[in-house]
Chain A
Amino acid sequence: MIAELGLAMLWLASALALLQLVAGALALTKRGRELAGIVRPAAVIQGVLSAGSFLALIALFLRTDLSVKLVATNSHSLKPFIFKLAGTWGNHEGSMLLWVTVMAMAGGFIALFERRLRDDTMLATLAGQAFVSLGFYAFLLLSSNPFERLAVPPPEGNGLNPLLQDIGLAFHPPTLYLGYVGLSIAFSFAIGALVTRDVGPAFARAMRPWVLGAWIFLSLGITAGSYWAYYELGWGGWWFWDPVENASLMPWLAATALLHSSTVLAARNALRAWTVMLGVVAFSMSMIGTFLVRSGILTSVHAFAVDPERGSFILALLAIYIGGALALFATRAATITEGARFAVTSREAALVVNNVMLSAILGIVLLGTLYPLLTEAFGEKVSVGPPYFNPIGAIFFVPMLIVMAIGPMLRWRDDRAGRISGKLALPALAAALTALGLVSFAPTIKPLPFLGMALAAGLAVASVLPLVGRDLRRTPLPVYGMVVAHLGIAVALFGVGSDSAFSIEKLVASRAGESHKVGPWQVTLRSIEPVAGPNWTALEATLAATYDGGRLSLLRTQSRNFTTPPQLTNESALHTRWNGQLYVVLGEEADDGRWQLRLWWKPFVPMIWYGGLLVGLGGLLALIGRVARDMKRSRAEDKIAYRRARQGR
């Protein structure tokens, strides 16, 4: 019954999306004006219905209703509650339903809360959102129905992949999806603005908070995914330039560029066509990423069901939406002028450079990801990996960091270099001192980590400078947001540099009682014993570690044996200090009764993820500031309108 209800709600929601599209499009014409009234309610109800449908699927998973095919193939009655819940989106169909739900709810929220856009642009935007949603409703209902029943329910479900039975993974996909799909709002805004040729500061101000919201989730989702890979995979790596990781990075790069260019548009009414373009590109990258991952045309570690039919379906959607939006852009953008010119030393010039660099990095990542596909068309296999992405990306990343340090201190319109050069001495000093320290303590350091750490130190100092000399209580929240987010980049970069320059790896074969030195740590294997969990059994190694002869800490690492489905996973053990992390993994038993242990001392590595969290927090501060200011303004406008109405009476 719940499954049928969920499916019915999904069909109804898609019908409403169709209504929203047709009514919205007709309302833009002279004769259909009276239809304008139903567009917003349609969007809201569509959001509610698809949320209801998603809740229905969650209910089915929580009850482990094995008559539903999706539940039977992905769940198991003995799974802990949280993983039954996570199982809802831990599969193709469920995650596509989540995708559609987020998209519909985003449309609903715009319909409810967005009041700044011109009426016709608003109609075009909601019609655009419905248009995009329709394709994904069709995909879900025609080729990936999550509510399909089984004629004969099996006695027990197949279970969830043990690698996914992890608390991090329970939250990582929804977070990332809120980010990916949230960017559909920017896409619809861009389409709406192109249709009505209404690209200006008001458009930028209206779009910015929505993009900011999606961007926060995207930043946090990528950070969480990276940390998960780090502790779950057991080799201490946190970013592999795998196609699937690149697929999440590309929308983030585009959205970051979009946030900055929309600031220029809002403040200076410039970069109009460029901002609209980025709005289209950001969500296009989300869709392209989804396509690359689900069609299976790229070789990735993240295994996927290779389904050519689904791949072609998504490719058709890409052609319609991205191709359509870009064609619309090409025909309309000629009438959108780019606006005022810039002085070389000005805030907007710095933001333009930032945009160019971010776009170039995006281009490099996209090219590197697709290149193996291109050479395969010529009958040759190549691999493009870290040795390409790191140095080539740095060509653009390094200038961007420098501009990031300087830009926030520049004034809009026009500034004198001399005004800020005094202020810049401090970050330059920090960078120079760090460089000096690195060269003297680690003369063999490689150029990229060296550059990264020195620039990170400079940027960290520079990022807080915009607050110096300001009345901190009257400084608007978005400024704090910028400071925190930029600081987050510096922190993360420092962690990245330190990890690649100073990590110490130790592979040992060990017996209980034996002791090993890893950097400043002395690690002793105490015992190896069997333990049992709710749906697994494991061998657990207990290790005692002391840092530089200090206090003893115990670490436990497991080699887990899951039964449904059968699989072994390694649970690494981490010990975090202020200056780094000790990372321990239990390997196999060797013939002589010794156990393989992999030990790492990774100085300052947690800064990578602290930095990611700071970036997200910065976005949140900016978002709160912007929303609060908008609410204040609209309340003031209401008051004025009210007074006018009374006076008029």
Chain B
Amino acid sequence: MSDPTPTRRNGLWLWLPLALFFGFFVLVMFGLLRPADRNVASAFVGKPLPAFDLRPAVPERPGLRAADMATGQPRLLNVFASWCIPCAAEAPQLAALAQQGVAIDGVAIRDRQEDVQRFLAQYGNPFARIGADDVSAVQLAIGSSGVPETFVIDGKGVIRHQHIGDIRAEDVPMLLEKLREAGR
């Protein structure tokens, strides 16, 4: 090929595409090897509970206000729903925690009274209070993105830990430890 005005090229430029591809390769390699956690964690851990006042979800238990949570003792806040299967699956673990003296409050998401009652009758009721959150307002306010989720609240009403998904038997010691830390 005849070239009227040959330009001198800087050889390094030509390696740029390969370098960019290498960057891409490393990035997706990383993504493949460590599949992303698709859960969205709450950014509200470490902050005090926002004010809320939920009406009782069932007549047997009082409703829930943010102020109820700051009792000087660490508590668990369990976000659940009767229509959620993992919530039923974690019931034995909640019962075990309650038996060990852990105070647990519940927030029932988008639920009807008779459904919550049936759920509690079937799987047990470890809750001291249960607030009804019909439009997920409290759920949104504390940065929870699904059910079930369990929050560790310290004595001053500050969120100290968020557990996403159902509590498995192996998670119980971890939650107890988090509660101990929150109590210090």
Tell me which residues across on chain B come within 8 A of A288, comparing CB atoms: 24
Tell me which residues across on chain B come within 8 A of A323, comparing CB atoms: 18, 21-22, 25
Interface residue? A645 (CB, 8 A): no
Do the beta carbons of B18 and A326 come within 8 Å of each other? yes
| Interface bits B8-22 vs A (CB < 8 Å: 1, else 0) | 010100110110011
Closest A residue, CB atoms, query B29: A315
Do the beta carbons of B14 and A373 come within 8 Å of each other? no
Tell me which residues across on chain B come within 8 A of A318, comparing CB atoms: 25
Complex: A602 Cα to B24 Cα, angstroms: 40
Do the beta carbons of A373 and B5 come within 8 Å of each other? no
Do the beta carbons of B7 and A297 come within 8 Å of each other? no
Given contacts A337-B3, A338-B7, A340-B4, contact A299 B32 (CB under 8 A): no
Do the beta carbons of B24 and A370 come within 8 Å of each other? yes
Given contacts A373-B27, A377-B27, contact A334 B11 (CB under 8 A): yes
Interface residue? B184 (CB, 8 A): no
A residues 258-280 with Cβ under 8 Å of B? 269, 272-273, 277, 280
Do the beta carbons of B18 and A327 come within 8 Å of each other? yes
Residue of B9, B24, B30, B40 near A381 (CB, 8 A) is B40
Complex: A370 Cα to B29 Cα, angstroms: 13
Closest B residue, CB atoms, query A295: B32
A residues 298-320 with Cβ under 8 Å of B? 299, 306, 308, 311-312, 315, 318-319
Closest B residue, CB atoms, query A328: B18
Do the beta carbons of A377 and B30 come within 8 Å of each other? yes
Interface residue? A341 (CB, 8 A): yes
Tell me which residues across on chain A come within 8 A of B29, comparing CB atoms: 315
Among A273, A277, A337, max chain B CB count under 10 A is at: A337
Interface residue? B173 (CB, 8 A): no
Do the beta carbons of A297 and B28 come within 8 Å of each other? yes
Interface residue? A333 (CB, 8 A): yes
Give the interface size bracket for A toward B: 35 or more
Do the beta carbons of B3 and A339 come within 8 Å of each other? yes
Complex: A284 Cα to B21 Cα, angstroms: 10
Do the beta carbons of A340 and B1 come within 8 Å of each other? no
Do the beta carbons of B27 and A330 come within 8 Å of each other? no
Complex: A22 Cα to B49 Cα, angstroms: 69
Do the beta carbons of A373 and B18 come within 8 Å of each other? no
B95 to chain A, nearest CB (A): 34
Tell me which residues across on chain A come within 8 A of B101, comparing CB atoms: none
Tell me which residues across on chain B come within 8 A of A273, comparing CB atoms: 9, 14
Residue of B22, B27, B32 near A370 (CB, 8 A) is B27
Tell me which residues across on chain A come within 8 A of B24, comparing CB atoms: 288, 370
Do the beta carbons of B14 and A312 come within 8 Å of each other? no
Complex: A99 Cα to B42 Cα, angstroms: 42
Given contacts A326-B17, A334-B9, contact A373 B31 (CB under 8 A): yes
Complex: A374 Cα to B30 Cα, angstroms: 9
Do the beta carbons of B32 and A308 come within 8 Å of each other? yes
Do the beta carbons of B36 and A341 come within 8 Å of each other? no
Given contacts A299-B38, A337-B9, A370-B27, contact A312 B32 (CB under 8 A): yes
Residue of B1, B6, B7, B14 near A330 (CB, 8 A) is B14
Do the beta carbons of A374 and B28 come within 8 Å of each other? no
Closest A residue, CB atoms, query B18: A326
Do the beta carbons of B7 and A337 come within 8 Å of each other? yes
Interface residue? B59 (CB, 8 A): no
Interface residue? B35 (CB, 8 A): yes
Complex: A333 Cα to B21 Cα, angstroms: 17
Closest B residue, CB atoms, query A340: B4
Complex: A439 Cα to B21 Cα, angstroms: 45
Tell me which residues across on chain B come within 8 A of A329, comparing CB atoms: 14, 17-18
Complex: A296 Cα to B31 Cα, angstroms: 9
Tell me which residues across on chain B come within 8 A of A326, comparing CB atoms: 17-18, 21
Closest A residue, CB atoms, query B41: A381
Tell me which residues across on chain A come within 8 A of B32, comparing CB atoms: 295, 297, 308, 311-312, 315
Do the beta carbons of B1 and A269 come within 8 Å of each other? yes
Do the beta carbons of B28 and A330 come within 8 Å of each other? no
Interface residue? A291 (CB, 8 A): yes
Residue of A308, A315, A334 near B14 (CB, 8 A) is A334
Complex: A200 Cα to B32 Cα, angstroms: 40
Complex: A318 Cα to B31 Cα, angstroms: 15
Complex: A21 Cα to B27 Cα, angstroms: 31
Do the beta carbons of A333 and B14 come within 8 Å of each other? yes
Tell me which residues across on chain A come within 8 A of B14, comparing CB atoms: 273, 329-330, 333-334
Tell me which residues across on chain A come within 8 A of B30, comparing CB atoms: 377
A262 to chain B, nearest CB (A): 16
Do the beta carbons of A330 and B25 come within 8 Å of each other? no
Complex: A284 Cα to B18 Cα, angstroms: 12
| Interface bits B30-53 vs A (CB < 8 Å: 1, else 0) | 111001101010000000000000
Closest A residue, CB atoms, query B2: A269
Complex: A467 Cα to B38 Cα, angstroms: 54
Complex: A514 Cα to B6 Cα, angstroms: 76
Tell me which residues across on chain A come within 8 A of B25, comparing CB atoms: 315, 318-319, 323
Complex: A333 Cα to B17 Cα, angstroms: 12
A206 to chain B, nearest CB (A): 15
Given contacts A333-B14, A338-B7, contact A376 B36 (CB under 8 A): yes
Residues of A within 8 A of B (CB): 199-200, 269, 272-273, 277, 280-281, 284, 288, 291-292, 295-297, 299, 306, 308, 311-312, 315, 318-319, 322-323, 326-327, 329-330, 333-334, 337-341, 370, 373-374, 376-377, 381
9 extra A-B contacts, CB within 8 A, seeds A297-B36, A339-B3: A199-B1, A299-B38, A319-B25, A322-B21, A323-B18, A329-B14, A330-B14, A339-B1, A340-B5
26 sample A-B contacts, Cβ–Cβ < 8 Å, listed by A number: A199-B1, A200-B1, A284-B21, A295-B28, A295-B31, A297-B35, A308-B35, A312-B32, A315-B29, A315-B32, A323-B18, A330-B14, A330-B18, A333-B9, A334-B14, A337-B6, A337-B9, A339-B4, A340-B5, A370-B24, A373-B36, A374-B27, A376-B31, A377-B27, A377-B30, A381-B40
Residues of B within 8 A of A (CB): 1, 3-7, 9, 11, 14-15, 17-18, 21-22, 24-25, 27-32, 35-36, 38, 40
- 4 cross-chain pairs, A with B, having the tightest CB-CB distances, nearest first: A326-B18, A297-B31, A330-B14, A330-B15
